[in-house]
Amino acid sequence: MHVGTHDVWGSLGRGAAGVLLVAVYNFIVSFAKQLLLTDVRYSAWANQRLLDACCALSSEEIERDLRISHVSILATLRHIHDGERVWLDCLRTSPETGAWRLPQGSPPEPSLEELRRSWPELSEGYRRWIEDLLEGGLGVEQRVLLPGALEPSLPRWKILRHVLEHSTLHRGQIVGMIRMLGHTPPAINGMDYWLAG
């Protein structure tokens, strides 16, 4: 597809002081937003497939100490869920209100059934957040207060990438745990998502 200069760079005009203004057409930002929205949808799909598979396991199996990740399948699911919950709060925070603080202390410990009920709403929160985001919103920086007196300023797209990659890492660990228990884990990689339509 041919993209002309006008399509990429937008139109030129002069401001009140006669300064040349460039209204940049944010093709790259729009494409990045669409890619991230696709990744958010994929992550929600993979989470749901994993939850469904875990429901077929016994309580003893999902709580067994397998010495991987966060000890057990259930504890690792809780960790993924809590990470997604906490970072969505960060993304929804307006940078104008100041730095966002990573919560400290013990996170909630929902049951598998509670996770199944709350996770779709959490995933929907990410979808709505990114769909409602204004152009350029992915590049807006948010100061984050982390343990150890770290206070980085990160663009929102990097925070979202961290969340998605964190969930992917731990889902992979749960797939390994399901195999260790002698069960066949669900197919949850990206190609499985594309093939599922």
CA distances 116 to 100, 110, 140, 151, Å, are 28, 10, 32, 34
Domains and their CATH numbers in the chain:
29-196 (1.20.120.450)
- Closest C-alpha among 91, 94, 151, 148 to residue 125: 91
> What does pTM read for this prediction?
0.84
Report pLDDT for 28.
61
Report pLDDT for 131.
94
- Cα distance between residue 123 and residue 65, in whole Å: 28
pLDDT tens for the chain, residues 1 to 197: 333 333 333 334 444 444 444 444 456 658 889 999 999 999 999 999 999 999 999 999 999 999 999 999 999 999 999 999 999 999 999 999 999 999 999 999 999 999 999 999 999 999 999 999 997 899 999 999 999 888 999 999 999 999 999 999 999 999 999 999 999 999 999 999 999 98
Q: Are strands 153-155 and 11-14 parallel, antiparallel or unpaired?
A: unpaired
Report pLDDT for 84.
98
